[in-house]
Amino acid sequence: MYQKYYSQFLQAPSGAPSSMLHMACHSHHYWPDVTLDAVQQYWHDAAQLADDKWGPIFEQKIPAWQAAVARTLALPQPDRIALAPNTHELVCRLLSAFDPGRPLRILTTDGEFYSFARQLQRLEELDNVEVTRIAKEPYATLAERFEQELHRNDYQLAYASLVFFDSGVVFPQLLEIAACKPARTEFVIDGYHAFFARPLDLGPVADTVFFTAGSYKYLGAGEGLCFMSIPKDCNLRPLNTGWFAEMAELEDRADRVGFSDNWLRFAGATMDYSTLYKGLAVFGLFEREGITVDRIHDHVLAAQRRFLETMDAAGHPLLNRQNLLHHDLENGHGHFFTFDCGTAEKSEMLQKALKSRAVLCDRRQRLLRLGFAIYHGESETYRQVFA
Ligand SMILES: Cc1ncc(COP(=O)(O)O)c(C=O)c1O
């Protein structure tokens, strides 16, 4: 039903087998066909309007994109959604707002994506930075352990993924924990594996937490456009600040560094906006066709059930229930399954074997990840994976 929107990829023009099964979608979703026209439109606007392109981009395109993101996540104020090419830039900008001369205590988990985990390791080398990592497992007690620690100590920043990148497990009750955070603690939810995959209502936390995600994965608009929603009355003054943060005052610049009370507080500098055009095209397509996140999620849940049925009957030595990382598959899981293959060699061999059967997936050392997308057919049984 949804495959018709992705014909450029699924018809495999490059000579790949037509039965190719793209299960690396949790990393990079294929782009709907409408993104091709969007890129061409960007080329025309950028080339023809030259410097005058910034007017339409800042006055029309960015607000339209922010409004679409806000509708998706039930965020009340679209102009509090900051844009940057990746989430690392936004998170670094936030980190730079803490006074380097004072202690910076950070609470997080041991399951964060490399982008943040590496940055944190480097920051930890500074004398004033102290990091507490709560073990993500066992998932059944994660919420309780994280919340207790959040209130036990004086943390300036708490940071956690809503869906863990290495397992697909949803952090149980993370939104509830964030809603009751101490006022002194800034709270960041890394929502990359949740955005445009799982239905989300951020309304209850929108005024108090930061939420990051981007276009590369489930939205299917490609790399180059990420966002961070900002709490209400945020008065942080990032040390890392670019000239776009002053977009509104360029003609009459003040001598001091001022910050707007909207997303521009966390703005950086010149970037390529082709993904903004692609993202708007995807939002437009889905809106016209009535494709909502609820429908996408239902489609994926049904696909995951069919996969599990096939798997349970297959008796595969590695792809089986024992090796599947999970906590609550029906209600608390993302749009991919992770299998612990025991060693990196075994997972690499399995990935190669799957590729030879035209099943594309990815792996992180010994963990093999298989993702589900709306461009998988409604009657797909995933037998090809277990053949
Ligand atoms: C949980 C999570 N957060 C963030 C990112 C992306 O990070 P960045 O935007 O810094 O490249 C990924 C990418 O795979 C991810 O899985």
Q: Does one domain contain both 204 and 307?
A: no
Taking Cα atoms as reference points, which of 59, 131, 142 lies closest to residue 98? 131
Do residues 7 and 52 both lie within one domain? no
- Reading phi first (left if > 0) and then psi (alpha if -120 to 50, else beta), residue 196 is in left
- 272 and 340 co-located in one domain: no
Closest to 197 measured CA to CA, from 174, 226, 168: 168
Q: Are both 63 and 169 inside the same structural domain?
A: yes
Is there a single domain that holds both residue 102 and residue 142? yes
Q: Which residues pair with 52 in a beta bridge?
A: none
Q: How far is 112 from 188, CA to CA, in rounded Å?
A: 12
Find the 112 Cα to ligand 1 centroid distance in Å: 9
Question: Do 280 and 311 have their domain in common?
Answer: no
Could you give the CA distance from residue 101 to residue 287 in angstroms, rounded to a whole number? 48
- Judgement on whether residues 19 and 64 belong to the same structural domain of the protein: no
Task: Take residue 25 and report the two structure tokens written for it.
Answer: 């979608």
CATH number of the domain where residue 341 is located? 3.90.1150.10
Q: How much is the pLDDT for 249? A: 67
Pick the residue with more confidence: 239 or 330?
239
The pLDDT tens digits for 201-219 are 999 999 999 999 999 999 9
Q: Is the pTM of this model over 0.75?
A: yes
CA dihedral over 71, 74, 76, 81, signed as positive or negative = negative
Range of the domain at 26: 3-30+293-386
Give which of 120, 98, 97 is closest to 109, Cα–Cα: 120
Q: What pLDDT score was predicted for residue 181?
A: 98
Q: Would you state the pLDDT for residue 18?
A: 54
CA of 119 to the centre of ligand 1 (A): 12
Q: What does the pLDDT read at residue 14?
A: 56
pLDDT tens-digit series, residues 333-364: 999 999 999 999 999 999 999 999 999 999 99
Confidence band for 256, pLDDT divided at 50, 70 and 90: confident
pLDDT higher than 60, residue 242: yes
Supply the pLDDT for residue 126: 97
Q: Is 109 in the pocket of ligand 1 (CB under 6 A)?
A: no
pLDDT of 152 over the 70 cut: yes
Residue 254 reports pLDDT greater than 90: no
228: CATH: 3.40.640.10
Domain termination residue (choose one: 244, 266, 284): 284
In one letter, which amino acid is 27?
Answer: S
Q: For residue 58, count other CB atoms closer than 10 A to its CB.
A: 15
* Cβ atoms of 375 and 22 closer than 8 Å: yes
Final residue before a domain boundary, out of 284, 308, 341: 284
Residues 160 and 213 in one domain: yes
pLDDT, the chain, mean: 95
pLDDT at 291 over 70: yes
**What mean pLDDT is predicted for residues 117-146?**
98
Question: What is residue 124's predicted lDDT score, i.e. its pLDDT?
Answer: 96
Predicted pLDDT of residue 12: 55
185 lines ligand 1 (CB under 6 A): no
Same domain? For 212 and 87 the reply is: yes
Same domain, 381 and 266: no
Among the ranges given (32-41, 124-133, 186-195, 247-256), the one the predictor scored with the smallest mean pLDDT: 247-256
Q: In what order do the strands lie in the sheet with 226-229?
A: 81-84, 226-229, 210-214, 186-190, 157-161, 104-109, 129-134
Confidence tier at 247 by pLDDT (50, 70, 90)? confident
Question: Is the per-residue pLDDT at 220 higher than 50?
Answer: yes
- Dihedral, CA of residue 81, residue 83, residue 86 and residue 92, to nearest 10: -70
Regarding the beta carbon of 193 and ligand 1, being less than 6 Å apart is answered yes
User: In DSSP terms, which residues pair with 157 in a beta bridge?
Assistant: 106, 186
Which pLDDT does position 248 carry in this prediction? 66
Q: Give the residue, by CA position, lying nearest to ligand 1 atom 6.
A: 87
- Reference 278, options 228, 225, 229; nearest CA is 225
Where a domain ends, among 284, 311, 342?
284
What is the 88 CA–ligand 1 centroid distance (Å)? 8
> Looking at the structure, do residues 120 and 252 belong to the same domain, yes or no?
yes
Q: Which atom of ligand 1 is nearest to the CA of 214?
A: 9
Is 214 near ligand 1, meaning CB less than 6 Å away? yes
Q: What is the pLDDT of residue 387?
A: 87
Residues 12, 147, single domain; the answer is no
* Burial bucket for residue 289 (CB in 10 Å: 0-12, 13-18, 19+): middle
Q: How far is the CA of 218 from the centre of ligand 1 (A)?
A: 12
- Number of domains into which the chain is organized: 2
- pLDDT tens digits, residue range 258-277? 999 999 999 999 999 999 99
Which pLDDT score, from 0 to 100, does residue 252 have?
65
pLDDT of 292-329, one tens digit each?
Answer: 999 999 999 999 999 999 999 999 999 999 999 999 99
For residue 126, how far is its CA from the centre of ligand 1 (angstroms)? Answer: 24
